[in-house]
């Protein structure tokens, strides 16, 4: 079987698809993956041996999320940036699997070819529209305009076109259970985790071994955080007598005063690092939340956008840490949140629940895909 995987988004949208690709390749499938050409994604796919079909426009080139007034134009721009690449890569494939912003092009590509299309959700809470408006209202106009240009009929239900009626949910069933509220028939596989066995750098290991467990703070691909966010986090962590590991991330975060109690890391294995820290302060991306959960590390989630609010709520509800109220904490609010997360009972709960983490989601998804189209999977014929 030949499968095309397509994703257009940040690290949290790319790495799980690489995990799926690895599992498919191990089972003898032919796989190619459309992904942004950002350097870290190129290196990731090359390291894992996944054939990469790069888009022309890097994900980092999208400077900021669109305003509600700009959404139609942004969807048009996403389609323009992706369609030719996905359409070309899909030729000769038997299945298309997509996620993130590839939802705007992959269904139409699969429809033109008459092959199955599967959509992947990384969060149970993203299928009900935005700002109280449904997907058809939000995105029908630009989608219909593009579909007309390639000889396809208008969309009746945009949500069903993008997500299908039978999407895959790549989320841990304890951390992010399917709520069953929508009409979707979801197949929840567990989170798609790429095993990262890279050893930690020697200088980082030296820092970790040089004192009590530090607190990690990082905001992944969020570029809206800056020096003030680092200052607040460092002061809050120091207020608890803890050292600090700072994840540089896409915002290029760094130390604020050069003191020896702070250490900055770039691209390292979070799976190894999170097992060595007292707590993880982060933005609430699905991948970071799941990695901290799997490591048994208490969490303080400071959500910045999108599904991060959901993950903050889940961390709090499950007793794994604290969901901060708002994207811009003060020293006082973050000190209080971190104090709560560092309580022994939170560590005990996080350690206990880590044993329940499902680490075979990508393997389960690969088996489902190779078994053939599931009932309800989308196979549209060009009309």
* CATH number for the domain harbouring residue 231: 3.40.50.2000
Residues 143, 171, single domain; the answer is yes
Residues 173, 24, single domain; the answer is yes
- In-domain check, residue 56: yes
Residues 222, 124, single domain; the answer is no
Residues 366, 344, single domain; the answer is no
10-residue mean pLDDT series, the chain (383 residues)? 96 96 98 97 97 96 77 91 97 97 96 97 84 84 96 94 94 92 87 94 97 95 83 96 93 86 94 97 96 98 93 98 95 98 98 92 97 58 46
Output the six-digit token pair for 117: 């299309």
Q: What's the pLDDT at 183? A: 79
Q: What's the pLDDT at 372? A: 77
Residues 120, 238, single domain; the answer is no
Q: Exposed e or buried b for every residue in 55-65, given b needs 16+ CB within 10 A?
A: bebebeebeee
Give the whole-angstrom CA distance, residue 133 versus residue 141.
Answer: 14
| Helix 286-295, helix 308-317: angle, nearest 10 | 20
Q: For residue 8, what is the enclosing H or E element?
A: strand 2-8
Q: What's the pLDDT at 301? A: 98
- In-domain check, residue 378: no
Residues 90, 220, single domain; the answer is no
Q: Give the chain's domain count.
A: 2
Q: What's the pLDDT at 359? A: 83
Residues 254, 338, single domain; the answer is yes
- In-domain check, residue 376: no
Residues 189, 215, single domain; the answer is no
Residues 187, 218, single domain; the answer is no
- In-domain check, residue 383: no
Q: Exposed e or buried b for every residue in 138-156, given b needs 16+ CB within 10 A?
A: bbbebbeebbeeeebeebe
Residues 157, 248, single domain; the answer is no
Residues 132, 250, single domain; the answer is no
Give the whole-angstrom CA distance, residue 381 versus residue 383.
Answer: 6
The count of other CB atoms within 10 Å of the CB of residue 354 is 16
Q: What's the pLDDT at 375? A: 43
Whether residue 169 contacts residue 186, with contact meaning beta carbons closer than 8 Å, is answered with: yes
- In-domain check, residue 377: no
Q: What's the pLDDT at 376? A: 42
Q: What's the pLDDT at 266? A: 92
Structural domain for 253, as ranges:
202-354
Whole-prediction pTM value?
Answer: 0.92
Residues 146, 291, single domain; the answer is no
């Amino acid at each position: 079987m030949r499968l095309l995987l397509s994703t257009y988004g940040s690290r949290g949208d790319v790495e799980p698809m690489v995990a799926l690709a690895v599992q498919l390749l191990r089972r003898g499938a032919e796989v190619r993956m459309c992904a942004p050409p950002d350097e870290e994604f190129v290196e990731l796919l090359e390291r894992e041996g996944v054939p990469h079909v790069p888009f022309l426009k890097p994900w980092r080139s999208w400077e900021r999320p669109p305003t509600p007034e700009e959404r139609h134009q942004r969807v048009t721009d996403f389609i323009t940036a992706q369609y030719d690449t996905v359409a070309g890569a899909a030729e000769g494939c038997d299945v298309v699997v997509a996620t993130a912003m590839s939802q705007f092009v992959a269904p139409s590509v699969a429809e033109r070819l008459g092959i199955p299309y599967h959509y992947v959700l990384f969060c149970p809470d993203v299928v009900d529209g935005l700002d109280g408006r449904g997907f058809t209202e939000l995105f029908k106009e630009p989608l219909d305009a593009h579909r007309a240009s390639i000889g396809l009929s208008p969309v009746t239900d945009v949500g069903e076109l993008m997500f299908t009626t039978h999407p895959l949910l790549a989320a841990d069933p304890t951390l992010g259970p399917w709520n069953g509220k929508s009409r979707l028939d979801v197949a929840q596989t567990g989170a798609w985790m790429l095993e990262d066995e890279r050893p930690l750098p020697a200088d980082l290991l030296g820092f970790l071994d040089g004192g009590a467990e530090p607190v990690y703070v990082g905001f992944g691909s969020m570029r809206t955080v800056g020096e003030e966010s680092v200052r607040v986090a460092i002061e809050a962590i120091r207020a608890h007598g803890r050292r600090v590991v700072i994840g540089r991330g896409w915002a290029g975060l760094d130390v604020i005063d050069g003191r020896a109690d702070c250490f900055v890391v770039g691209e390292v294995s979070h799976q190894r690092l999170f097992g060595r820290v007292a707590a993880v302060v982060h933005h609430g991306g699905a991948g970071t939340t799941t990695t901290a959960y799997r490591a048994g590390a208490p969490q303080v989630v400071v959500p910045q956008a999108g599904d991060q609010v959901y993950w903050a709520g889940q961390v709090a509800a499950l007793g794994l840490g604290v969901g901060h109220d708002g994207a811009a904490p003060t020293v006082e609010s973050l000190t209080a949140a971190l104090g709560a997360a560092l309580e022994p009972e939170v560590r005990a709960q996080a350690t206990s629940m880590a044993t329940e983490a499902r680490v075979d989601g990508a393997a389960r998804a690969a088996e489902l895909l190779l078994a053939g189209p599931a009932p309800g999977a989308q196979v549209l014929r060009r009309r």
